[in-house]
Amino acid sequence: MRILFVRTPRYVWPFNSETSAFWQPLGFMSLAGQLEAARPHFSIKIIDCAASKIGWKTLFSTLNSDWPDVICLGEETVSSHEAMRLAGYVKKQRPATIVIAGGVFFSYAAEQSIRADCIDYIVHGEGEITLLELLAAIVDQRDIKSVRGISYRHNGQLIRTADRPPIPDMDTLPMPAWSKVPMHLYGLGAKNHPGLVSIEHSRGCTDNCSFCTLWKHMGKLSRDGKTIKPYYRTKSAERSLDEVARLVRDFDRSTFGWVDPTWNADPKWTDEFCDALLKRNIKIRQTAWLRADCVVRDEELGILEKAVRAGLFQVMIGVERPDEPGLKELNKHSNGPDITAKAFEIFRKKYPGVFTIGSVIFGLWDETKKSLGELSRYQYKVGMDYCFFIPLTPNPGTKVYEDARKRGIIEVTDRRAYNFHTPVMRTRRFSARHLETLYFKLLYKVSFDRIVYLLREFLALRDRRRKRVFKSLCKYGLQITTRYIAGRLRHPFSNKPTIYSRKPKWYDS
């Protein structure tokens, strides 16, 4: 059986250059590693169009010259239309080709995706064991109903089999199939992320935020079998160190982008892993998403200092809202305004070499102009290096999506707009389009306080890399501003959302 994983051509996220926008498709590499270990006679390939700058014409030509038996796709909402485009092409050209989709979008949009008549099976949740069993059942011509964790159509009816529990022991996973992607291309030429590689040590989360699908995607069914609960697991420090050592030795990787929803949830892992890195004198750079309360805890335990010495140089902290009512609406726990402010203060005062990025969510149901102004001022209060303002986005599978659908407040269905920049649903007071105008003002309104803050921040930066990152983010912010203004001037009365992502030159080639 010839199996091909494809990450299709896509637009570039507006705050990235092409050298750092696309990380390795870790999900595909993990699935391929599992298949390769269990079924070595399978022919397994991965095409990452984004990294290799393969456009649609080239992709179609490549498929026609070497057609696989199975094509596997997996996307987020913002790029799901790209996967559907490829699936439609495949079924038109070779209807017998099996198309399998998974990931955080298709897992929760299974019915509408399968009814489009171009996807045969959808894998729900973690896919390593499920995909292996599904392909084995197809090869051996066994009953597909016995495979847990899939959806498919049979005699016009949508069938969903019993849920599959997540993998409890992550050390049992084979190594990702790194050699199946062009590793040297990731971060090539990047000044801020040279030798880039995506990596994970944990899955799941300790929280169940209403706007997030990751905790649910990697969660565990409760005893009643009706609800999904957060389920956090981590590899051992020894296993994680082995992965890092191999990536450094065999692929010359130096910047490790941890994709874990919460890198610092387990202090034992952080302490042991960073201690092992230091003892073996493995010098790498590390970027990670952190919980603010865990930052404060690890600083008190002396673990954070060790992590910084072990290469932690850029952190992203989900602030979400600087007020308790807003956090409650988002169902985010343990990270009140005081805790968040303390986490940023720790980095600013004790670890100034670490670049800090905060994310703040706007567009809650009761949002006002006053609350938006408070959001804008909050970034200056806590002293983060950069703040991303993200519209509350109703991705399928989230409580936000279910609530928005019941209320009928989703105004934009174009999936390209689900890019965490473009508002797509209205609030009590603002339409999505009005909210976009307010978002623009939130980001770029000129004020004395903002000018003073930005100048002070830039002049205070001593580390050259931090200066580069700061300048890059400001540059891309300016490009977004220019694109927004140009669009409004060309189409002043348009109600269409602004698509901030950039179409790369190679996209159609």
- Please report the pLDDT score of residue 351 as a whole number: 95
Q: Per-residue confidence at 189, pLDDT binned at 50, 70, 90?
A: confident
Q: 197-245 pLDDT, tens per residue?
A: 999 999 999 999 999 999 999 999 887 777 899 999 999 999 999 999 9
Q: In the prediction, which pLDDT does 495 show?
A: 73
In the chain, list all ranges with CATH 3.40.50.2300. 2-160
Asked if residue 21 lies in contact with residue 427, where contact means CB atoms within 8 angstroms, the answer is: no
Tokens of 462: 């001593």
pLDDT the model gives residue 136: 95
- CATH 3.80.30.20 maps onto the chain at 195-490
Distance CA 22, CA 19 (A): 7
- Name which CATH class applies to 2-160: alpha beta
- pLDDT of amino acid 421: 86
Confidence of residue 380 (pLDDT cuts 50, 70, 90): confident
**Cβ-contact 175, 33 below 8 angstroms:** yes
* Predicted confidence (pLDDT) at residue 460 exceeds the cutoff of 70: no
Give pLDDT tens digits for 352-365. 889 999 999 999 99
**CB 26, CB 32: distance < 8 Å:** no
Backbone phi, psi, residue 151, to 5° = -125, 145
Query: Looking at residue 452, what is its pLDDT?
Result: 64
pLDDT at 37: 96
Identify which has the larger pLDDT, 313 or 191. 313
Asked whether residue 455 carries a pLDDT value surpassing 80, the answer given is no
Residue 99 confidence (pLDDT) above 70: yes
CA distance 369 to 364: 12
Residue 459 has pLDDT above 70, yes or no: no
Query: Does residue 179 or residue 498 have the better pLDDT?
Result: 179
| Residue 307 pLDDT greater than 70, yes or no | yes
Whether the pLDDT of residue 446 is over 60: the answer is no
**38 contacts 89 by C-beta, under 8 angstroms:** no
Question: Would you state the structure tokens that stand for residue 459, as one six-digit string?
Answer: 């002049």
Q: How far apart are CA 463 and CA 444, in angstroms?
A: 26
What is the pLDDT, as a whole number, of residue 101?
A: 97
Please say if the pLDDT value at position 115 is more than 70.
Answer: yes
Token pair in block for residue 406: 């019941």
Burial state string for 446-480 with b = 16 or more CB within 10 A and e = fewer than 16: eeeeeeeeeeebeeebeeeebeebbebbeebeeeb
Mean pLDDT score of the chain: 90
Query: Which pLDDT value is given to residue 20?
Result: 67
CATH class for domain 195-490? alpha beta
Is residue 294 within 8 A of residue 267, CB to CB? The reply is yes
Q: What is the per-residue pLDDT for 263?
A: 97
Contact yes or no for 66/40 (Cβ under 8 A): no
Average pLDDT over residues 465-475: 71
Determine contact, residues 382/358, Cβ cutoff 8 Å.
Answer: yes
Asked if residue 283 has pLDDT above 80, the reply is yes
- Pairwise CA distance, residues 449 & 464, whole Å: 25
